[in-house]
Chains A and B, each alone.
Chain A
Amino acid sequence: MSRLQRAGTFGLLMVVLVAVAFPFYWMLLTSVTPREALFKPPYRLFRLDFSLGNYRELLFATEFARYFVNSLIAAVGAIVLNVIAATLAGYGLTRFAFAGKKTFAFGTLFSYMFPPMLMAIPLYILFSALQMRNTYTGLILAHMAISLPLNIWLMWQYFQIVPLSLEEAAWTSGASRLASLRQVCLPSARPGILSVAIFSFALSWNDFTFAFILQTDRKMFTLPVGLASFVEQTGVHWGMVMAAAVLVSVPTFLLVFFLQRYLLSGLRTAG
């Protein structure tokens, strides 16, 4: 490749990288920009006068903490239910032969394509009738609607990799099926289960549509909904909004990056 081509490619690559990274950079920068500076455009691309004032204001002067707790409860609930349902289903679907598996496969994948908006309106009506709006249970169930199909598929694929001979070895050693599931299968499926947990968390934590439509009581807002309402409320206090944006984004990042290593190493020792 000629020198010119190489320079051009590099230049293009830089443009792409900047395009991808810039919004993050600006988000972070704005979040630590002192309030006064935000009212005096034009802005510098780089500054040294960091201030955590926005974060302080966010945490103590708004209901951010409450929204955080709501989001956390919903996410944890989604994780627990998803892991149980998906792991059991994945095991049953791979280990047993029975009619209707094709339908199950289609049905699962198809429901994965259901758009949240499509389900939110009926759920709104149903939950209103059942007095389940503005509850944690309702929200957790709604979140399962978007994450469970993918998780079932994940665990289904994953259990196919766990060799049946491992369980047979346990059975011929005297273990019952239940014992072999618990002692042999589950530990081997740990990376899959972790993936399910991560997906469930991310989909629940990031959801706006369901939380927006189902939770109308301010006290039950989750972070995304709360965030959206900030803008309406605060007018243009972008420093605090960006600080909130940073805090809302961080948990998912952390989860993915720390568990990514664990996931990979789990796959290696399974040999």
Chain B
Amino acid sequence: MSATTERRAWIFGTTAPALLFLLVIAYLPIAYAVSLSFFKKTAFNPAMKWVGLANYQIIFDEPELWSAFWRSVVFTLGAVGLQLALGLVSALLLNRAFKGLNLVRSLFVLPYLLPSVVVALVFQWLPSPEYGVVNQMLMQTGAVARPVNFFGGLGTAMWAVIGMAGWQYGSFATLLILARLQSINPKLYEAAAVSGAGTWRAFLDVTLPNLRTTLIVIALLRGIWMFNKFDSIWLVTHGGPLKATETLPLYAYRLAFEEFDFGLAAAACTVMFVVLLAGAVVYFKLFDPTKEIEVGR
């Protein structure tokens, strides 16, 4: 075999499996979903019928899509905001050398490693109105008179869900921010102190600028992730009470598996995808991943 043919065989042989998988199990389904949105397909009828933009018209007309979209936005902003706030505060608190730091770091990575099911279950158990320890403590300290139904109350459900997401991912954000904090050259703080800056000014002028990129990356990636999150929310509320926590992914799920209209569900999914695209474009514009690639020989 000549050298060039062998080289070509190598290039093909090494990249083809991954490429094939990606195309078949990631890109193909997405393409299928988008194209499906232009057809009418239900679970009852195996045939598909072209309907053009009719599916979109249906869901755009109904307020449900917009409410679901809005709820997704609220959830995303709330969850990401909470994670960043908790992450920043915790990281700042942890940013000093103390003996148990490695142990604490291990603790902070745990919530992220938990399956969403477990998080959902624990967060159903803790604040459960009848048996939950949170309500128990709230009543014992006299903060509330009656047990609060966190996930079942119309006013509290969304906040409870946001809080849960904040717990699950906030501690991981802590670790990321902490890593960045610890890589800031301590001499910068010394220079600031010598120039007369107090703690707050030093934070504004030294810490924040260095953290900016990390915070933006976390916000973007987590934002995309939270916008599309299905499992935790569905597991704790099933979208309730009265659809108070039905975000876009849950709405799509309902369309597909409770109303059995795949065409409509595909349209809702495509809306999600468009939002994802926008987020991805922003991310790639800011952070060009090709800068990290070197070309071989």
B26–A206 touching, CB < 8 Å: no
A92–B111 touching, CB < 8 Å: no
Given the contacts A23-B167, A125-B32, A249 and B118 also touching, CB distance less than 8 Å = yes
Residue of A nearest to B6 (CB): A177
Given the contacts A13-B93, A23-B167, A117-B269, A88 and B123 also touching, CB distance less than 8 Å = no
Please tell me if B21 contacts chain A, counting CB pairs below 8 Å: yes
Please tell me if A224 contacts chain B, counting CB pairs below 8 Å: yes
Given the contacts A96-B10, A113-B280, A125-B36, A245 and B231 also touching, CB distance less than 8 Å = no
Q: What's the minimum C-beta distance from A178 to chain B, rounded to whole angstroms? A: 9
- Interface on chain A toward B: helix, strand, loop, or mixed SS? helix
In Å, the complex CA distance between A79 and B7 comes to 28
Please tell me if B257 contacts chain A, counting CB pairs below 8 Å: yes
Please tell me if A4 contacts chain B, counting CB pairs below 8 Å: no
B18–A95 touching, CB < 8 Å: no
A23–B123 touching, CB < 8 Å: yes
Stretch in B52-60, B62-70, B152-160, B284-292 touching the partner:
B284-292
A88–B14 touching, CB < 8 Å: yes
A30–B136 touching, CB < 8 Å: no
B125–A145 touching, CB < 8 Å: no
Stretch in B182-190, B202-210, B248-256 touching the partner:
B248-256
B284–A88 touching, CB < 8 Å: no
In Å, the complex CA distance between A13 and B94 comes to 8
Residue of B nearest to A30 (CB): B125
B235–A17 touching, CB < 8 Å: no
Please tell me if A189 contacts chain B, counting CB pairs below 8 Å: no
B269–A227 touching, CB < 8 Å: no
Q: What's the minimum C-beta distance from A5 to chain B, rounded to whole angstroms? A: 9
Q: What's the minimum C-beta distance from A135 to chain B, rounded to whole angstroms? A: 14
A17–B133 touching, CB < 8 Å: no
A253–B110 touching, CB < 8 Å: yes
B295–A97 touching, CB < 8 Å: yes
Please tell me if B294 contacts chain A, counting CB pairs below 8 Å: yes
Please tell me if A70 contacts chain B, counting CB pairs below 8 Å: no
Q: How many residues of B contact A (CB 8 A)?
A: 87
Residue of A nearest to B262 (CB): A125
What per-residue 1/0 map shows which CB atoms of B102-119 lie under 8 Å from chain A? 001011111101111110
A19–B167 touching, CB < 8 Å: yes
Please tell me if B217 contacts chain A, counting CB pairs below 8 Å: no
Please tell me if B124 contacts chain A, counting CB pairs below 8 Å: yes
A86–B136 touching, CB < 8 Å: no
CB-contacts of B225-276 with A (<8 A): 225, 227-231, 235, 249, 252-253, 256-257, 262, 265-266, 269, 272-273, 276
User: Chain B residues near A9 (CB, 8 Å)?
Assistant: 93
Please tell me if B140 contacts chain A, counting CB pairs below 8 Å: yes
CB-contacts of A11-35 with B (<8 A): 12-13, 16-17, 19-21, 23-24, 26-27, 30
User: Chain B residues near A156 (CB, 8 Å)?
Assistant: 293
Given the contacts A96-B296, A205-B115, A113 and B130 also touching, CB distance less than 8 Å = no
B residues with a Cβ closer than 8 A to A are: 7, 10-11, 13-15, 17-19, 21-22, 24-30, 32-33, 36, 41, 86, 89-90, 93-94, 104, 106-111, 113-118, 120-126, 128, 130-131, 133, 136, 140, 167, 171, 221, 224-225, 227-231, 235, 249, 252-253, 256-257, 262, 265-266, 269, 272-273, 276, 279-280, 284, 289-290, 292-297
Q: List, sorted by A's number, 6 A–B pairs whose CB atoms are closer than 8 Å.
A: A96-B11, A116-B230, A119-B25, A202-B113, A208-B115, A231-B124
